[in-house]
Structures are given as C-alpha cells and as structure tokens.
Structure 1
Amino acid sequence: MTQINIHEAKTHLSQLLFRAVLGEDIIIAKAGKPIVRLVPIEKPLEDRVLGQDEGLFTVPEDFNAPLPEDILSAFEGGTME
C-alpha cells in the first residue's frame, strides 16, 4: 500500500491512476492522515440480450414429474442405493 500526500498526488495523478488500475493500493493523505483511497471502477456488465441462448436447452416432457423414490430419499437425508 502506497501513501502519498495531496501535493504529490496532484503532481503525479496520471501515474497514480495507472498504478491503481493495475491493482496497487494508493492512499492519499492530508497532513499525514489518510483521507481517500484510489481504486479503479469495476467494469460495468454488458447489456444482456434476451433470447441469445434460445434452442440450447429443451425442457423435457416429464420436467414436473415426481422424483424417483431413491433420489427423493437422498434429498431428505437418506442414501442412494
């Protein structure tokens, strides 16, 4: 973690931004007391497109059918045999 004073931060702002984007912790201090931390903004998520996975999965006809007893038992704490 690097701590620098405000005057130095103003003088070297471009370099500090580059270092912060690369993952370095940069603390800016006033009179030796830390006041802010320079951190990169998280990359925004891209807009999702509805239907882009259409056709990749087909819901089976028996999707809502009751589970077989051995699997149901395993969900309730039993063992599968």
Structure 2
Amino acid sequence: MKQVNLYEAKTHLSSLVEEAAAGEEVIIAKNGKPCARLVALDVASEVKPRRREFGQWGRKYGYVAPDVFPETTAEEIALWEDGPVFPPDDPA
C-alpha cells in the first residue's frame, strides 16, 4: 500500500494508475488524511452497458415508422427544385 498527497496524485496520475493496474493499492490523502483509494478494476465484474436499440422511444410511446414511404410525385419534385427560396410577402 502506498499513500500519496493529492497534489502528487494530480501530478503523477498516469503512473499511479499503472501501479494500481499492476495490483498495488494507492491511497490518496488530503492534508495527510486518507480520502480516496485507487485500486485495479476487476474486469470480470465490470457491467457492460446495454446496447441501444434504434427506434426504442417510438415503440415505447406507440409510434412505429412506416417501412415504405410513398413515392415523390413529379409535382413535388418541381416544387422542391424550382420553387422560390423565400415565398412572396403578398400572396395576391
């Protein structure tokens, strides 16, 4: 077991993490009083995060996106390609 002051721990954190990963326990103290312990992580007990599922909110609240969307008509394409960027202020 090794005890280091907080300032030293901040300065040499990467080397302390390597020591902890090798199996040594490192105690971090503030003003001489132990306040944290740095130990190796037990990989076998590590909990893996649940994989996200696409569309989970929709199924939860009753909306499911359609598998097939309707075809875009020639009129809709013309409106997209040839339409004004800003519509006129006065539609008259």
What TM-score, normalized by structure 1, do the two folds share? 0.53
Q: Is 1:36 aligned to 2:32, yes or no? A: no
Percent identity of paired positions between Structure 1 and Structure 2: 53
Q: Which runs of 5+ in 1 are unaligned?
A: 46-81
One-letter amino acid matched to 1:24: E
- The structure with higher relative contact order (CA 8 Å, sep 6+) is 1
Gapped regions of structure 2 (runs ≥ 5): 46-92
Let me know the Cα RMSD of the aligned residues.
Answer: 1.7
Q: Which has the larger radius of gyration?
A: 2
Q: Which runs of 4+ in 1 moved over 6 A?
A: none
Q: Distance in 2 between matches of 1:24 and 1:39?
A: 7
Number of paired residues?
Answer: 46
Question: Which residue in 2 is equivalent to 1:51?
Answer: none
* Aligned-pair CA distance for 1:16: 0.1
1:8 is aligned with what amino acid? Answer: E
